[in-house]
A and B are shown apart, each in its own frame.
Chain A
Amino acid sequence: MSAIENKLVGPVSEELALVQAAKRGDDSAFEELVRRYDRNVFRIAQHITQNREDAEDVVQEAFLKAYGNLAQFQEQSKFYTWLVRIAVNEALMKLRRRRPERTVSLDEEIKTEDDSLPREIADWSPNPEQQYNQSELREILSKTIQGLPPGFRTVFVLRDVEGLSTEETAAALELSVPAVKSRLLRARLQLRERLGRYFQKRDSEDGNKRESGDGNQ
């Protein structure tokens, strides 16, 4: 059996059938692919760009590029991984245009100092997210993830939020598997440390009171 004859089951084989139909010019098949992945692409784009209008543009541009280049898609990887790669590149381009003064790259050098070693090791309250209402929590999560360098943020979003495997994340970002793992560890630890400012167990904690003046809201 050749390596290409992978057993495709369920959604993957369905996806491949849609891609093949779209390649033959069936636009309704392509529309089905849009329907299947537009939410994911939007989430990824918004996480990277942190801007809703940019995320909308990225969704359009990514699908349009996928449509225009479908013939080049080799079918050896999943269509979704290929689409994510296009979307991430579009989103990073938006970010570069918006913040030309800052380098935006997935290959940025990791700081040489050992910044992955946790500095603060304080335990969190049980169910810390329940200390805040939905919009407060959303604000905290968004502010916290914005503080990560784009290269770390993107790896975290693809791997931990969107649930791509390490290998798929590596393929989508054109990084090696060890590079993905290293960025993922740092992203997770940095987010943990930053969230700790909001979720830490207080000295005076009695389970329902928060100290005033901490965490702003």
Chain B
Amino acid sequence: MKCSDFLQELTNYLDGVLDETTKTELENHLSWCHNCYVVCDTTKKTIQIYRDSLPYELPDDLRTRLRSAIMSKCQQQKKRGPQSV
């Protein structure tokens, strides 16, 4: 496996959807190609850091306010009849 092949398969590898043969070839490549190993490892960390960060949480008070606004607009919409998207 060449470095460019590794890159093509990287997303499938990280998502755990590679077939066994390709997975073995890729891991074999990673065992001797330091650059690809680093790319694989730091890409994995990138995903993990974003997944763990949850930067945009909805505060409870805003959440309640939004929900009641949504429900009251829904009621108004119901009275007016259906609309198109």
Q: Enumerate chain A interface residues (CB-CB to B < 8 A).
A: 27, 30-31, 34-35, 38-39, 42-43, 46-47, 55-56, 59-60, 63-65, 67-69, 71-72, 86, 116-118, 121-124, 128-129, 137-138, 141-142, 145, 156, 160-161, 163, 166, 181, 184-185, 188-189, 191-192, 195-196, 199
Q: Identify which of B35, B38, B62 gathers the most chain A CB atoms within 10 Å of its CB.
A: B38
9 closest residue pairs by CB, A with B: A46-B56, A192-B46, A185-B11, A42-B58, A121-B35, A68-B83, A67-B74, A63-B70, A43-B56
24 CB-based A-B contacts, threshold 8 Å? A34-B67, A34-B71, A38-B66, A39-B58, A43-B58, A60-B66, A69-B83, A118-B39, A121-B38, A123-B38, A123-B42, A124-B41, A124-B42, A124-B45, A128-B49, A129-B49, A137-B49, A138-B53, A156-B50, A181-B11, A188-B43, A192-B39, A195-B49, A196-B42
Task: Provide the residues of chain A in CB contact with B74, threshold 8 Å.
Answer: 27, 30, 63-64, 67
Task: Provide the residues of chain B in CB contact with A72, threshold 8 Å.
Answer: 85
Cβ-defined contact, B55 with A138, below 8 A = yes
Classify the interface of chain A: helix, strand, loop or mixed.
Answer: helix
What is the number of residues of chain B that contact chain A, defined by CB distance less than 8 Å? Answer: 40
Smallest Cβ distance from A153 to chain B, in angstroms? 11
Q: How far is the CA of A43 from the CA of B12 in the complex (A)?
A: 25
Q: How far is the CA of A56 from the CA of B67 in the complex (A)?
A: 11
Task: Provide the residues of chain A in CB contact with B67, threshold 8 Å.
Answer: 31, 34-35, 38
Smallest Cβ distance from B15 to chain A, in angstroms? 7
Cβ-defined contact, A160 with B70, below 8 A = no
Cβ-defined contact, B46 with A188, below 8 A = yes
